[in-house]
Amino acid sequence: MKTYVITSFYKFIPVPEYKTLKQSLLKAMKSANVLGTIILAEEGINGSLAGKRKNIDRMISILTEDARFNDIWFKETHSDNMPFEKAKVKLRKEIVTMGVADTDPLKEVGTYVRPEEWNALISAPDVLLIDTRNNYEVGVGTFKGAINPNTPNFRDFPEYVKNNLMDKKDQKIAMCCTGGVRCERSTAYLKKLGFKAVYHLEGGILNYIDSIPENESLWEGKCFVFDERIAV
């Protein structure tokens, strides 16, 4: 058993008093002895934390005392080394930043596809698979046949759509990202633009890697993560 549990999570839900939550969540992280970053915005919460099993369990218990967060999906990986240096809580306009106004995952997103059904979807000849992550992340690893938008940053994704996808609104579009949060926003964006059949991988790449046996996997390479481990 590895020493540290790394849990990643997000939820789009109205948090109008998000600014006042900053100090209480930072205090909770320090009390539970976990490190990492929580991002708060009026539209929800997004975080990645690490600690020993009992400490992560304590932090999850504190977070889920808030009824808005009691159904959050905490996705876990493990490491022998602590991947974070500090405990941080950041305030943002968006919990994942694309910079397009009125792109609201609370209103409409693409169709979720479970890892067990993902292979069949992306293997279909009429499906366009797009990896929504940035160019470096895709270079570390991606799905067989996935399109790399070659974007330096998620903020550049709308420009990619404008230049490459606007004539494909009737085509089936499948999207993937690390833990699922970027796909919530990118599929919401495509639905807002009038794309009819948009899908995304439930729980992201990390959930797929954890769920699908290696001999059945269409994943190639490693998955970039935003901590000192770099890739898993």
**Residue positions annotated with a catalytic role:** 177
Sign of CA dihedral 70, 37, 200, 189: positive
Distance, in Å, from the CA atom of 53 to the CA atom of 42, rounded to the nearest integer, reads 30
Structure tokens at 177: 């990202």
Distances from the Cα of 67 to the Cα of 35, 53, 120, angstroms: 23, 23, 36
Distance, in Å, from the CA atom of 144 to the CA atom of 125, rounded to the nearest integer, reads 13
Largest CA distance in the chain: 52
Dihedral in degrees, nearest 10, Cα atoms 47, 52, 54, 60: 0
Q: Determine the residue type at 107.
A: K
Distance, in Å, from the CA atom of 65 to the CA atom of 73, rounded to the nearest integer, reads 14
User: CB-based burial of residue 131 (10 Å sphere; 0-12 exposed, 13-18 middle, 19+ buried)?
Assistant: buried
Where residue 15 falls (left for φ over 0; alpha for ψ -120 to 50; beta otherwise) is: beta
Residues sharing a CB contact under 8 Å with residue 140, sequence separation 6 or more, in sequence order: 221, 222, 223, 224, 230, 231
